[in-house]
Amino acid sequence: MASFLLQHSKEFRRKLEDSRPRLYRMAFAWSHNPPLAEDLVQEALAKALRHTAQLRDIKTMDAWLFRILANCWRDYFRRNRIMEDIDDLNLTHNVTPESLHNRNEVINEILLAVSQLSEGQRQVTTLVDLEGFSYMEVADILAVPIGTVMSRLCRARKTLKKLLVKTQTCRSEQPASTSIRRVK
């Protein structure tokens, strides 16, 4: 009987050691703080060692360990609860429906302007300005000389500037509709 308990104890300790990296990954995913994650794992493993008798079946050890870790996480929040004075909180948002609408309008104008470029200019512009490739990388991707990449990009940017300035001018000349209509 003693050898069974000793063997069981060795298996328990081996499984405990093997579960440490998984417990750390979970604690880090919850806390985004490496030292805190390490502390939580250490605390969970210490509690597991102290309360080995509570584990009924070695097959359920993973769930048992993660439950201990979750309890350690909750305990951490109870101990370190940060209290903020509600009067000091800023409850306004910088993002408003109007600002989102304006942003979407600008994005749509840019997409429309880019779609009006020639295919070569559109390819170079999207690869350099959107994807962040270097001129040399774009030249390799498109199998064209680097000078071609630079000239296409220069022409594309000039064209985009003209198109976007034209669109902005047209938008600013339109009268703002502030009247409210009654609809039946």
User: What CATH number corresponds to the domain at position 102?
Assistant: 1.10.10.10
pLDDT at 57: 81
Supply the range of the domain harboring residue 31.
15-168
Residue 61 placed within a domain: yes
Residue 20 placed within a domain: yes
Dig out the tokens for 108 from the structure: 């749509």
Residue 4 placed within a domain: no
* Structure-token match 């990388």, residue found: 137
pLDDT at 2: 39
Residue 90 placed within a domain: yes
pLDDT at 8: 56
How far, CA to CA in Å, does 68 sit from each of 1, 31, 41? 29, 16, 9
Number of domains in the chain: 1
Nearest to 73 by CA among 39, 50, 49, 34: 39
Judge if pTM exceeds 0.85. Answer: no
pLDDT in tens, the chain (184 residues): 333 343 457 888 888 889 999 999 999 988 889 999 999 999 999 999 888 888 888 788 888 999 999 999 999 988 887 666 667 767 677 778 888 888 899 889 988 998 999 999 999 998 998 888 999 999 999 999 999 999 999 999 999 999 988 877 776 666 555 555 555 5
Residue 178 placed within a domain: no
Residue 175 placed within a domain: no
pLDDT at 183: 56
pLDDT at 77: 82
Q: In whole angstroms, give the CA distance from residue 26 to residue 32.
A: 10
pLDDT at 1: 37
Nearest to 55 by CA among 12, 110, 109: 12
Q: Give yes or no for a contact between 141 and 113, defined as CB atoms under 8 angstroms apart.
A: no
Residue 139 placed within a domain: yes
Residue 21 placed within a domain: yes
Dig out the tokens for 128 from the structure: 């350099």
